[in-house]
């Protein structure tokens, strides 16, 4: 980043010098430098956006009378940030852990990362929730989706005919197992009701921090779901239920 910013700054300085020497008249050299500066602007803007987004608007093509003064000033400030940011992190940042987004569950982050860099964080979370739904449905062998899906397949009771469940491993007679399964069941419903639905039916943009916190919730649901085992109604139980529920000929 430093190399690209220094190169851009040097082009700007060369343009301004040539522009003054030509009394602000266009010359082959100023036109060449102008073309080189314009070619660098997209990359320089992307670099500066990661350092200080407020400076991005100052990175413009050379102006006839004012040259590249605004762009050079923004680049100099960005270079200062780049020079000092390591020290800021060491001396000024609070001593707290940070979230590493690409370590979220793959079904969550892979979907969100596709559009994360566009700044559409709410939409990115929405896509992550859709991907999570598909991930759970595939494991549960279910055609249901989202909240309706997790309401059914994550229930702690045994599945009925034609149903499946995703149950955490362990002794299902213990309070600990029931607590974990109920936790997954309720948390998954909350994720789709409070995150996915809100992301879909609102237009307000979310901050990156809020979006990351929502992705963390989705990732936890995905991790816990990965621990579950597919449960189907056993043939023996199904036959027993059939005998109990099927009327005898004498009852007609």
| Domain chopping of the chain, boundaries | 2-91, 101-243
Evaluate whether 69 touches 18 at the Cβ level (below 8 Å).
Answer: no
Q: Write out the H or E segment, with its range, that includes residue 92.
A: none
pLDDT of residue 5 exceeding 50, the answer is: yes
For residue 229 the two structure tokens come to 């085992």
Residue 93 has a pLDDT of: 61
Q: Which letter, b or e, does each residue of 142-166 get, where b requires 16 or more Cβ atoms within 10 Å of its Cβ?
A: beeebbebbebbbbbeebeeebbbb
Q: What pLDDT is recorded for position 85? A: 80
pLDDT of residue 65: 78
Residue 250 pLDDT class (50, 70, 90 cuts): very low
Residue 232 in contact with residue 140, Cβ under 8 Å? no
Residue 151 contacts residue 145 (beta carbons within 8 Å): no
How do residues 152-195 score in pLDDT, each as one tens digit? 999 999 999 999 999 999 999 999 999 999 999 999 999 999 99
* C-alpha neighbours within 13 Å on the C-beta side of residue 171: 4
163 half-sphere exposure, CB direction, 13 A CA radius: 17
Q: Which residues, other chains included, contact 192 with Cβ-Cβ below 8 Å and sequence gap of 6+? A: 129, 133, 146, 147, 150
Structure tokens at 157: 């009771």
pLDDT higher than threshold 70 for residue 44: yes
Rounded distance between C-alpha atoms, residue 152 and residue 165, angstroms: 7
Given pLDDT bands bounded at 50, 70 and 90, which one contains residue 91? confident
Q: How many CB atoms lie within 10 A of CB 33?
A: 22
Report which of 92, 103, 50 is spatially closest to residue 222, judged by C-alpha positions: 103
Question: Is the per-residue pLDDT at 123 higher than 50?
Answer: yes
């Amino acid at each position: 980043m430093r190399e690209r910013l220094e190169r851009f700054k040097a082009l700007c300085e060369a343009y301004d010098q040539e522009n003054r020497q030509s009394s602000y008249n266009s010359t082959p050299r100023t036109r060449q430098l102008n073309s080189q500066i314009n070619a660098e602007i997209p990359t320089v803007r992307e670099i500066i956006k990661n350092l200080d987004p407020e400076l991005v608007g100052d990175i413009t093509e050379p102006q006839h009378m004012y040259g590249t003064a605004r762009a050079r000033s923004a680049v100099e400030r960005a270079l200062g940030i780049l020079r000092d940011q390591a020290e800021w992190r060491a001396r000024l940042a609070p001593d707290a852990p940070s979230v590493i987004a690409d370590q979220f569950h793959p079904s969550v982050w892979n979907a969100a990362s596709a559009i994360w860099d566009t700044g559409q964080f709410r939409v990115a979370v929405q896509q992550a929730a859709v991907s999570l739904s598909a991930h759970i449905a595939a494991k549960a062998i279910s055609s249901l989706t989202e909240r309706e899906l997790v309401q059914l397949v994550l229930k702690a009771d045994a599945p009925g005919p034609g149903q499946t469940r995703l149950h955490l491993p362990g002794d299902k007679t213990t309070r600990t197992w029931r607590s974990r399964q109920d936790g997954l069941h309720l948390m998954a419903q909350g994720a789709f009701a409070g995150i996915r639905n809100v992301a879909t039916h609102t237009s307000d943009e979310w901050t990156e921090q809020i979006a990351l916190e929502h992705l963390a919730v989705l990732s936890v649901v995905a991790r816990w779901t990965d621990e579950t085992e597919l449960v189907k109604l056993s043939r023996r139980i199904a036959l027993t239920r059939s005998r109990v529920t099927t009327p005898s000929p004498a009852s007609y």
